[in-house]
Amino acid sequence: MELTVAVTGASGTIYAYRTLQLLAESGAVKTINLVMSSVVPIVAQVELGVNLRTPDVKTINEWLGLKKDSKLIRFWKLENFAAKPSSGSTKQAGMIIVPCSMGTLGAIASGAGTNLIHRAADVALKEGRKLVLVPRETPFNAIHLKNMLTLSKAGATILPASPGFYHRPKTIEQLVDHLCYRILDQFDIPHTDKTQWTGNEINKSE
């Protein structure tokens, strides 16, 4: 499977980090076309203490704990409209934008593609491929909601960063993973089933 993963400057870089790690661990994904907005390095530094100020494949592999010579990640510059994800002739399973800023969401909804993230998302929609948007914003205003509805009608999946609690998470990492598993579910990518609802949870005493 080949996927495009985009990371924007919204808060929630940890969701991008874990999603990429889980995709790498799944064995189902052979190529990840990775694109980052220009603000991501700043957010990653603030939220995770990670230095991504000059991102490249080597830096990304190190960040994710992959082998230095891993070919899983293909890193594309934001302004590169000649990149692989910008063409509908590139066969991919779809695209994930995690986290997805409201600016990015609005640009995609309007069809105003000014960078590779916007263009790749537009390609996913026009080719009828899965496009999963993970907004991390609260509260939503009327413009945000209208843009989400527009994209939902166009075929995108809106998957807000709203993890559940029925699996009784004890750490932030468990909350993050729960959300990231839901992202993987959209592409039928295997992962642990520990957070999946079974119907037996209501009978547990602790």
In the chain, where the domains are located: 2-191
Residue 181 · residue 173 · CB < 8 Å: no
**Over 90: is that where the pLDDT of 186 sits?**
yes
CA gap 206, 196 in Å, rounded: 17
Q: Which residue has the tokens 């409201």?
A: 102
Instruction: Give 2-191's CATH code, choosing from 3.40.190.10, 3.30.590.10, 2.60.40.10, 3.40.50.1950.
Output: 3.40.50.1950
- Using DSSP bridges, classify how beta strands 31-36 and 73-76 pair: parallel, antiparallel or unpaired: parallel
Q: Which residue has the tokens 């603030």?
A: 46
Query: What's the CA angle centered on 136, arms 130 and 137, to 5 degrees?
Result: 130
The pLDDT of residue 19: 97
pLDDT tens for 124-148 read 999 999 999 999 999 999 999 999 9
Q: pTM of the predicted model, to two decimals?
A: 0.93
Mean of the pLDDT values across residues 175-184?
95
**Over 80: is that where the pLDDT of 172 sits?**
yes
The pLDDT of residue 68: 83
**Over 80: is that where the pLDDT of 12 sits?**
yes
Mean pLDDT over the full length of the chain? 93
One-letter amino acid of 39: V
CA gap 162, 175 in Å, rounded: 9
Residue 158 DSSP code: E
**H and E: helices and strands count for the chain:** 7, 6
CA gap 56, 75 in Å, rounded: 6
